[in-house]
Amino acid sequence: MKRYWDIFSKGLVLENPIFVLALSLCPALAVTTSVVNALTMGLTVTFVISMNNLIVSIFRNWVNPKVRVPIYITSIATIVTVAELLLKAFAPLLYKELGIYLSLVVVFAIILARAEVFASKNRPVPSFIDGFGMGAGFTLAMLIVGVIRELFGNGTILGYTVLGSWYPPALIFIMAPGAFILIGYLVGAWNIWSARIEKAKGERGETI
């Protein structure tokens, strides 16, 4: 059980896809203008990445290494289509809002990376948990960025007004430059945080 928790939790902080691995920065910049969008995108990616890890792991012994990438892409595309159709059916407004970025999930680096690095070498259950952890870390990062951007760029969170009319929304947070600056600072903060965790682990004599 401890082993599974380790696999899951490393995706949250120490190997956070956005803040540490710096993979899939594109959606982190593009769809985090509001919390709802960020959350939907995070959950979609979590779904896709864990299902894909599961499938890749199940078929890992039958896939010829020479054609592995096309096969990963086929698998990811299938799952993304499922997710897309689900969203279209049950949340058409969100589907419209996320637009092209939903289809772009197919080529997110983090999904391909986890299939290649973890799922193709591990058994199905750990692979699924790894995908779920990475997805959760991705969602966490998206949420942090999304909350800050919506709060300062629009004065709201989840559409509810938090900062009153006295606050003149700073549009830079809604636009790309604000996202770049913000993610830069968050990466810095994350580095300080994870360095502390690693230090604490080292003091306890655990391997990192």
Residues that bind other proteins (CB under 8 A): 168, 170-173, 175, 177-178, 181, 185
Q: Which is nearer to other proteins, 143 or 170 (CB)?
A: 170
Closest contact distance (angstroms) between CB of 154 and other proteins is 12
Q: Which is nearer to other proteins, 171 or 208 (CB)?
A: 171
Closest contact distance (angstroms) between CB of 145 and other proteins is 17
Distance CA 166, CA 161 (A): 12
Q: Which is nearer to other proteins, 29 or 140 (CB)?
A: 29
Closest contact distance (angstroms) between CB of 170 and other proteins is 4
Q: Which is nearer to other proteins, 91 or 175 (CB)?
A: 175
Closest contact distance (angstroms) between CB of 23 and other proteins is 24
Distance CA 132, CA 138 (A): 10
